[in-house]
Structure 1
Amino acid sequence: MIKKIFKIIALTILLGGLTLAGAGYYILLYPNTSFQEQENIFYIPSGSDYSFISKELYPSLSDTNTFYWVATAMKYTDHVRPGRYEIRKGMNNLQLVRMLRNRSQPVKVSFNNQDRLSLLAQRISKEIEADSTSLMNAFLSPYFLAENGTDSLNILGHFIPNTYELYWNTSAEEFAQRMEKEYKTFWNEKRKEKAAAQGLTPEQVTVLASIVQKETYMADERPTIAGVYLNRLKDKMPLQADPTVVYAIKETTGKYDTIIKRVYIKDTQIASPYNTYRIQGLPPAPIAMPDISSIEAVLSPEEHEYLFFVADTARIGYHKFARTLQEHNKNRQAYRKWLDRIMTNDK
């Protein structure tokens, strides 16, 4: 009889243990997602508490009670961390809470040659938590500008177009500091030496590169274009770059979205420090954000004797180059005839 009682007790303990083990498995390790996609991107804004989690994450869970139990046991309910999280289909509560506690995934932030600082801010605000207003305030902070030895006009050139890995909840100030760090890394001693060899500072290289950028979208032609402008600077000739006239018109009128297809003689007379038909040397700041290929074109230009160029009608997107004004006028006349014919056909 006593043996039977011990067997019953042992069996009861075993069953109880198995029941507890099963419950523990279900609470901790059983899949607890309710969405059908392979992954769900979940953003937690800065300053959020657990009420945000219960409102925004719970609809993606199969069992909210077990998630809450695990979150409470792991003290996550009092330590919600902002960021971007990739919740994979079939994750269990233990995986979910561990990830939310420790592993905010970085994002890849890419930007190319934005024409204006405000456009850059708008572009970045789509990739990280900071909005465009806070980004603009960070970019134009007097302390930030002074700390980096630049001004509100030239700060655009301190952003090197590339792809950067950042956390989604990076603040506007942190983003600005990161970009300045990348700028200083980019302008290493070798590039500074190349700039000095052309008689330019890094900021002047960026200004000229912005003109080269706007002159041609053909990266393989940029060293040739850069060589023309450097020859003009060395010969004390005005740059007479049409993109600077286009920028001067937009900057003067404030109508930056205007599409200007052709620069006329009257346009070259506009009074502006950006109009290189009227000023000697470089304009005071970039007319756009140049990409790396344009900067490298100025640092390593093609060596030649060209002083002039005009669009090549036989190779759309490229240019015809000339050493003399006489040769250039011949090329320009052919281009104007072609352009008049095109514009007449468009009417």
Structure 2
Amino acid sequence: MSEHDDEDGHDGLDLGLDDEDHGHAPGRRRARKRRGPWGCLVVLLIVGLLVAGVAFAGVKGIDWVRDQFSSDTEDYPGPGEGEVVIEVGQGHGTNQIARTLKEADVIASVTAFRTVANTRPDEASRIQPGFYTMRKQMKAADAFDLLVDPANAGGSRVVIPEGLRVNQTVTRLADATGIDEAEFEAVLADPVELDLPASAEGNAEGYLFPSAYTFGPEDQAVDLLRAMVDRWKQVSAQVPVADAAQVGLDEHDFMTIASIIEKEVKRDEDRPAVAEVIFNRLDGTCVSKGVPQGLLQMDSTIHFLTGGGTGSVYTSREARQSDSPYNTYGVRGLPPGPIASPGKSAMEAVLEPTNEGYCYFVTVDLDTGETLFEVNEEDHNVNRRTLNTWCSENPGRCG
């Protein structure tokens, strides 16, 4: 949180061509062309290709159509035989799960499975992502029973929250999967293998998107990290990060600002205002309000520099006097790159800053995340005292 600081009085937020004329003498009209036998042949060829394409698509899609619209309720008697591993992905609904099961010959028909699911909707809605070891040719009800028991969801499920650094993310992945951290670090050292976007400049910091992931027992470190980068690419297209130029940024700086926003406040509704403070401090809008030109004065970047910030709202005088480019109290402009992995709302806020003239902010309740924004330093100092009161009433919470 960039709004607070130690007892020495500093604050983290003190922060086409013309068909008729072309190629002909002026004043002469082009003669109307007649369609000869070759033209008719071309048309027939195109029609033939279209018919062939539709026929091919029909062959490829006939099973899917039958599954979706057929009244076939064929069911295997069970109990089944052999073994097959089925993946249920994040967000997969009953229909998608049923198609996956039928394609693997676990069930005889999509309809049979859906019939069971429709009679037990509460249980169906609680099927968890994971890797399920099943038998082929099971009775649909037996397959459903297996899926609704969370104990059968194999693989590793890990939740990566917003705001983690790469090293913190690696620790969580290693703990959840049993893969040694050194294997993740080896992948991180090779941006080509990791398939990072060009804007990352070879550094994964900020580009391992925070979300819930389920990984299979055969997945390796590279598979896990690539899944997170792929998810970042999906979300960046939705935001879209490609619009960075509209706010005067390249994509790398866009992600740097988004990461600061992520670390500074807890509530999504506060993020656009933090974006405004950052822009106002960078462009000099806040100079007349007591903030030197280009100094962000964000405690979150200090915490990244020191490796702290896991429970303290304060920064030390020593850290704020560092010549590190992450010391935004002493070095003008943005730090070299992202300081954590931002979520979608923080990324969106970069494109949606408020326009209130804000130059200061401070979080005054660490439990609720309530954050107050001000234009002037005098009003901001009143809010700082509110934070100090909260810290006094909640010993040990502010670090």
Give, in whole Å, the separation in 2 of the partners of 1:293 and 1:312: 21
Corresponding residue for 1:298?
350
Aligned residue identity for 1:213: E
Counterpart of 1:271 (choices 295, 309, 323) is 323
Corresponding residue for 1:247?
304
Q: Which has the higher helix share?
A: 1
Q: CA deviation at 1:277?
A: 0.3
SS of equivalent to 2:277:
helix
Corresponding residue for 1:38?
none
Aligned ranges 1:151-230 → 2 under 5 Å? 151=201, 154-164=203-213, 167-188=216-237, 191-230=240-279
| CA distance 1:190–1:85, change in 2 (3 Å) | closer
Give, in whole Å, the separation in 2 of the partners of 1:266 and 1:337: 25
What TM-score results when the alignment is normalised by the length of structure 1?
Answer: 0.60
For the Cα contact (< 8 Å) 2:275–2:354, is it kept in 1?
yes
Identity %: 27
| CA distance 1:201–1:87, change in 2 (3 Å) | same
Structure 2, unmatched stretches of 5+, are 1-75, 88-129, 144-152, 285-292
Give, in whole Å, the separation in 2 of the partners of 1:314 and 1:178: 32
Give, in whole Å, the separation in 2 of the partners of 1:217 and 1:116: 16
Structure 1, unmatched stretches of 5+, are 1-27, 34-40, 44-82, 97-103, 251-255
For the Cα contact (< 8 Å) 2:305–2:326, is it kept in 1?
yes
User: Size of the alignment, in residue pairs?
Assistant: 260
For the Cα contact (< 8 Å) 1:127–1:168, is it kept in 2?
no
Corresponding residue for 1:86?
133
Give, in whole Å, the separation in 2 of the partners of 1:219 and 1:258: 20
| CA distance 1:324–1:130, change in 2 (3 Å) | same
SS of equivalent to 1:86:
strand
Counterpart of 1:262 (choices 303, 314, 318) is 314
Aligned residue identity for 2:344: I
Q: CA deviation at 1:279?
A: 0.9
| CA distance 1:299–1:141, change in 2 (3 Å) | same
SS of equivalent to 2:241:
helix
Corresponding residue for 1:21?
none
Q: Higher relative contact order at CA 8 Å, sep ≥6: structure 1 or structure 2?
A: 2
SS of equivalent to 1:187:
helix
Q: CA deviation at 1:276?
A: 0.6
Structure 1 stretches of at least 4 aligned residues deviating more than 6 Å after TM superposition: 104-107, 344-347
Superimposed CA distance per residue, residues 284-337 of structure 1 (whole angstroms, 9 cap, x where no aligned partner): 122222111111112222222111122336995222222123333343355446
Aligned residue identity for 1:204: D
Aligned residue identity for 2:276: G
For the Cα contact (< 8 Å) 1:130–1:170, is it kept in 2?
no
Q: CA deviation at 1:273?
A: 1.6
Give, in whole Å, the separation in 2 of the partners of 1:345 and 1:42: 45
Superimposed CA distance per residue, residues 75-111 of structure 1 (whole angstroms, 9 cap, x where no aligned partner): xxxxxxxx943348x969xx99xxxxxxx98876542
Aligned residue identity for 1:187: S
2:381 aligned with 1:332: no
Q: CA deviation at 1:346?
A: 10
SS of equivalent to 1:133:
helix
